């Protein structure tokens, strides 16, 4: 009898764990959000899915398949389509709806004026660095078991949410905030939110010390403004492994982690992936 109870509890725990894993990321079909599209019954792993010419992450759930679509911030509300290409090269389409969302405006003061009005040399440096960043975000690795339930990478306060329209030092130009800022003291450990592979690390003008992690099928996470980087390109990471420490390198107003999640080379709200804090090691 006891064995039967333990057996039931164990498999109940496993079922719950996988059900919870499949519930992330949360669907939020708005600009900067995620649409989860249930694919037709004839879909299989040999098919490929695209949205706006970008390859889309797919996963199997029970006996069916889903497309996990990152929606660009510039996307207009209304009906949109994903393109599905079968192994023979034939195209089909499925529709999904995108709903309107208005993001608030925030005003930020940056003491280092070069980070708001860069010099000619700063701009030249930025344009040399930009292709490296773009290439990292375009990374696509085939992976049948992409971990889409994330832990929060650092203990701290959410100081600036995704999608805000930002104005620096009262300038008229508006920049979109394409990540989640987590304020924490300099030196606070930053942990990998999920298993993955380090694509590259570097120091860039605007983002400071930066780490890119590939989680598979176009799901990339990025970590800005680090004080110290403690990983290197090609390194395999498990959820909870240390990747560096919080700092204030690059364009910042104080020590924090800027955390970006990119899905199909599209910046999306990291909070849609969060299930828990990382386990301390």
Q: Mean pLDDT over residues 73-94, rounded?
A: 97
Q: What is the pTM of this model?
A: 0.88
Residue 165 host element (H or E): strand 165-168
In the numeric block, the tokens 């195209």 are attached to 91
Say what the pLDDT of residue 21 is. 55
3-class secondary structure, 224: strand
Using the predicted structure, report yes or no on whether residue 14 has a pLDDT greater than 50: no
Using the predicted structure, report yes or no on whether residue 118 has a pLDDT greater than 80: yes
Q: Mean pLDDT over residues 213-235, rounded?
A: 98
pLDDT confidence of 169, banded at 50, 70, 90? confident
Say what the pLDDT of residue 280 is. 43
Distance CA 242, CA 244 (A): 6
Tokens for 107, please give them.
């005003």
Question: What is the topology classification, in CATH, of domain 105-277?
Answer: Glucose Permease (Domain IIA) (2.70.70)
- Tell me the pLDDT of the chain averaged across its residues: 89
Say what the pLDDT of residue 277 is. 55
Distance CA 225, CA 227 (A): 7
Give the CA dihedral 40, 84, 214, 157, nearest 10 degrees. Answer: -60
Say what the pLDDT of residue 3 is. 43
Say what the pLDDT of residue 1 is. 46
Distance CA 136, CA 220 (A): 8
Q: Are 277 and 190 in contact (CB under 8 A)?
A: no
**Residue 107 DSSP code:** E
> When comparing pLDDT for 62 and 96, which is higher?
96
User: Residue 92: CB partners within 8 Å, gap ≥ 6?
Assistant: 40, 83, 84, 86
Where does 2-98 sit in CATH, by number? 2.60.40.1590
pLDDT confidence of 100, banded at 50, 70, 90? very high
83 pairs with which residues across the strands?
50, 93
The residue extents of the domains of the chain are: 2-98, 105-277
């Amino acid at each position: 009898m006891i064995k039967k109870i333990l057996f039931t509890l164990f498999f109940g725990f496993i079922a719950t764990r996988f059900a919870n894993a499949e519930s992330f990321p949360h669907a939020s079909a708005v600009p900067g959000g995620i649409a989860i599209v249930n694919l037709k019954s004839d879909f299989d792993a040999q098919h490929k899915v695209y949205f706006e010419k970008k390859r889309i992450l797919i996963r199997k759930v029970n006996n069916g398949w889903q497309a996990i679509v990152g929606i660009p911030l510039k996307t207009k509300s209304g009906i949109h389509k994903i393109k599905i290409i079968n192994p023979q090269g034939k195209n089909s389409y499925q529709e999904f709806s995108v709903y309107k969302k208005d993001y608030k405006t925030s005003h930020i003061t940056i003491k280092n004026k070069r980070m708001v009005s860069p010099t000619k040399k700063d701009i030249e440096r930025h344009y040399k660095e930009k292709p490296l960043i773009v290439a990292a975000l375009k990374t696509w690795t085939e992976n049948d078991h992409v971990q889409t339930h994330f832990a929060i990478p650092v203990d701290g306060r959410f100081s600036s949410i995704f999608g805000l329209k930002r104005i620096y030092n009262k300038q008229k130009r508006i920049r979109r905030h394409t990540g989640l800022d987590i304020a924490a003291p300099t030196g606070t450990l930053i942990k990998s939110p999920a298993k993955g592979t380090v694509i590259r690390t570097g120091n860039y003008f605007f983002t400071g010390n930066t780490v890119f992690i590939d989680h598979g099928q176009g799901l990339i996470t990025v970590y800005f403004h680090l004080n110290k980087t403690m990983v290197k390109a090609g390194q395999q990471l498990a959820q909870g492994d240390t990747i560096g420490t919080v700092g204030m390198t690059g364009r910042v107003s104080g020590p924090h982690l800027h955390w970006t999640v990119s899905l199909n080379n599209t910046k999306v709200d990291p909070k849609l992936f969060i299930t828990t804090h990382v386990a301390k090691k």
